[in-house]
Amino acid sequence: MASEQQESYASIEATIELVHSKLQGRPKLAQMFENCFRNTIHTTIKRKEDGTTFVITGDIPAMWLRDSAAQVRPYLLLSGEDSDLADMIEGLVQRQFRYILLDPYANAFNEEANGQGHQDDLTEMNPWLWERKYEVDSLCYPIQLSYLLWKTSGRTSQFNETFRQAVQTILKLWKTEQHHEVRSPYSFQRLNVSLTDTLVRDGKGSLTGYTGMTWSGFRPSDDCCQYGYLIPSNMFAVVVLRYLEEIAGQVLSDAKLAGEAKELAEEIEQGIQRYGVMEHPKYGKIYAYETDGLGNYNLMDDANVPSLLSLPYLGYTTPDDPIYQNTRRLILSEENPYYFSGKAASGIGSPHTPDKYIWHIALSMRGLTSNDPAEREQMLKWLQETDAGTGMTHESFLMDDPTQYTRPWFSWSNMLFSEFIMDHFGIAKRK
- Whole-model pTM over 0.85: yes
Q: How far apart are CA 17 and CA 42, in angstroms?
A: 17
CATH 1.50.10.10 is held by the domain 10-424: yes
Could you tell me if 42 and 29 are in contact, meaning their C-beta atoms sit under 8 angstroms apart?
no
Residues 331-385 pLDDT 10s: 999 999 999 999 999 999 999 999 999 999 999 999 999 999 999 999 999 999 9
Model confidence at 419, pLDDT cuts 50, 70, 90, reads: very high
Kind of pairing, strands 277-280 and 129-131? unpaired
Q: How far apart are CA 125 and CA 119, in angstroms?
A: 6
Interacting residues of 426 by C-beta distance below 8 A, sequence separation 6+? 22
Model confidence at 213, pLDDT cuts 50, 70, 90, reads: very high
Q: Is pLDDT at 386 greater than 70 in this prediction?
A: yes
User: Mean pLDDT over residues 295-324, rounded?
Assistant: 98
Q: DSSP assignment of 94-136, as one string?
A: HHHHHHHHH-TT-SEE-SSS---S-TTSBS---TTEEE----H
In angstroms, what CA-CA distances link 246 with 73, 241, 421? 20, 9, 30
* pLDDT confidence of residue 58: 85
Q: Is pLDDT at 79 greater than 50 in this prediction?
A: yes
Cis, peptide link before residue 373, omega less than 30° from 0: no
Model confidence at 222, pLDDT cuts 50, 70, 90, reads: very high
- The strand ranges marked E within 277-349 are 277-280, 284-287, 290-291, 297-298, 339-341, 346-348
Kind of pairing, strands 129-131 and 229-230? unpaired
Q: Domain coordinates of the chain in residue numbers?
A: 10-424
Could you tell me if 287 and 324 are in contact, meaning their C-beta atoms sit under 8 angstroms apart?
yes
Model confidence at 8, pLDDT cuts 50, 70, 90, reads: low
Rg (CA), the chain: 20
Residues 40-63 pLDDT 10s: 999 999 999 999 999 999 889 999
Interacting residues of 171 by C-beta distance below 8 A, sequence separation 6+? 260, 261, 264
355 secondary structure, DSSP code: T
